[in-house]
Amino acid sequence: MSQFISLLNTNIKDIKSYVKLGISPFGIWRNASKDPEGSVTRGGQTDFDDLYADVLLWMRKGWIDYLLPQLYWEHSSHAAPFGVLLPWWQQHSYGRQVYYGLGLYRMVGGSGAWTGTHELMSQVREIRNTTPLSGYAFYSASCFDKLPAISDSLHGFNRYPAMPPRMKWLDSIPPSAPYLKAIPSVEGTLLQWQVTNPTREPLRYAVYRFLNDEKIDLERADRLLSIQSLPECLDLDANKHKKCTYVVTALDRVWNESRGSNAESTYANQ
């Protein structure tokens, strides 16, 4: 299996160096009872011993770009506590990115810890608070239709757009900064921009809007108006605010973000 993963990564990168290779393994690599590097768990099945997947080796060698381990257990699990596995995987990331698979399906007809939203929400909070540059995925998305309560609860954690963390080992050179024009009208403000892109790489653009005399801070996700591929944007809400200041950045395939464009300001009823 390891030889296959190594060759797969090499072949992918030879053809398209920007393509990310990730694996979503079972949530236990090895139990500490069999390997001191393993987690303090009592899983009846593990990646290494039963599934022939030495995902730690693959991460150490740089053969994969990210992991998404399936952490489908609750905090109170006797065999595989969530609170044990989350930091264990984070400590064994080897500079690669780790996201976390959460067992949404456990809530469908769930009992015990999976009755109600408390367990899943505590897992989301723990990931947000303790694992920088990380994230999570749910298994499976089809369960959201059966669990309207969790959809409402998660909304507060996902109010703003988020960009995936950069993978500097793939590419660390950001695009050029765009040049921005803002054209006010009674309908709103039309933003148009241009960027030097000699390789014609497909780019995305992040459009930021700051109100009145706010300081320009491109770390503020709550000021992201849009992430898009077209080089123009119509802000229909511009005239609701006394002053709007806009900045646009360019994003490449692996989410390297350029410096901000020139700042353009418009005023209501202009």
Per-residue pLDDT tens over the stretch 177-217: 999 999 999 999 999 999 999 999 999 999 999 999 899 99
pLDDT for 20 beyond 80:
yes
| Those residues with Cβ within 8 angstroms of residue 188's Cβ, 6 or more apart along the chain or in another chain | 234, 235, 236, 237, 238, 239
Residue with tokens 């503020």: 220
Q: Average pLDDT, whole number, for the chain?
A: 95
Structure tokens of 145?
A: 């239709």
- Give pLDDT, residue 66: 96
Chain segment 40-82, per-residue pLDDT in tens: 999 999 999 999 999 999 999 999 999 999 999 999 999 999 9
Closest CA to 266 of 229, 218, 234: 234
Which single residue is written with the structure tokens 């950069």? Answer: 166
Closest CA to 63 of 14, 15, 22, 25: 22
Whole-number pLDDT of residue 270? 54
User: Of 130-139, 229-238, 244-253, where does mean pLDDT reach its minimum?
Assistant: 130-139
Report strand pairing: 100-102 vs 136-138: parallel
What is the 3-class SS of the chain, one letter each residue? Answer: CHHHHHHHHHHHHHHCCCCCCEECCECCCCECCCCCCCECCCCCCCHHHHCCCCHHHHHHHCCCCEECCEECCCCCCCCCCHHHHHHHHHHCCCCCEECEEECHHHHCCCCHHHCCCHHHHHHHHHHHHHCCCCCEEECCHHHHHHCHHHHHHHHCCCCCCCCCCCCCCCCCCCCCCCEEEEEECCCCEEEEEECCCCCCCCCEEEEEEEECCCCCCCCCHHHEEEEECCCEEEECCHHHCCEEEEEEEEECCCCCECCCCCCEEEECCC
| Cα 47 → chain centroid | 24
- Tens of pLDDT, residues 224-238: 999 999 999 999 999
Q: How many residues does the chain have?
A: 270
Q: Span 259-268, mean pLDDT?
A: 95
| pLDDT score at 39 | 98
Residue 206 region by backbone torsions, left for phi larger than 0, else alpha for psi between -120 and 50, else beta: beta
Q: Report how far residue 22's alpha carbon sits from residue 78's, in angstroms, rounded to the nearest whole number.
A: 29
All domains in the chain, ordered by first residue: 2-155 (no CATH), 179-267 (2.60.40.10)
pLDDT score, position 175 = 97
The pLDDT value given to residue 149: 83
Give the pLDDT band (50/70/90) at residue 154.
Answer: confident
pLDDT of residue 269: 67
Instruction: Report the distance separating Cα 206 and Cα 221, nearest Å.
Output: 10
